[in-house]
Amino acid sequence: MTFCLDTDIIIDYLKDSALVVKRVHSQLGKISTTPITASELYYGAYRSNQIERRRKEVEELLLLFEVLPFTPAVYELFGKIKAELKEKGEPLDNFDLLIASFCIAHHQTLVTNNLKHFSRIPGLHVENWK
């Protein structure tokens, strides 16, 4: 099984959350993230009081994990899932939809603190490591 870390889990890792750190270290080599999460991490770095330090943390962290590539399957899943959720009256943020689309397209289990949030997406496997 391979795991894709959501932004909130990576932030927990950076804050030394014992449970998250333990799980990440036990699964190294089987962990990925998305370009969306990488972008959100850089956004956080540039909003901090210690831009250079935080930016380097993000760079080093991203060396540990594969950043999943955009593929035609990701694009199509995004459109399909967004349309299905809108039809049900359950819209979801575009970034979260993209993260879910990456996970489904690349056969990854999404690790997130937002289980309820992502559980509405058919075909998406989710776990919480806290």
On whether the pTM is more than 0.75, the answer is: yes
pLDDT band at 117 (very low <50, low <70, confident <90, very high): confident
Range of the domain at 121: 3-127
CATH of the domain at 30: 3.40.50.1010
Tell me, what DSSP letter sits at residue 30?
S
- Separation CA 33–CA 50 (nearest Å): 24
For residue 86, the model assigns a pLDDT of 94
For residue 2, the model assigns a pLDDT of 96
pLDDT band at 91 (very low <50, low <70, confident <90, very high): confident
Mean pLDDT along residues 82-100: 94
Whether 130 shows a pLDDT value over 90: the answer reads no
Domain total in the chain = 1
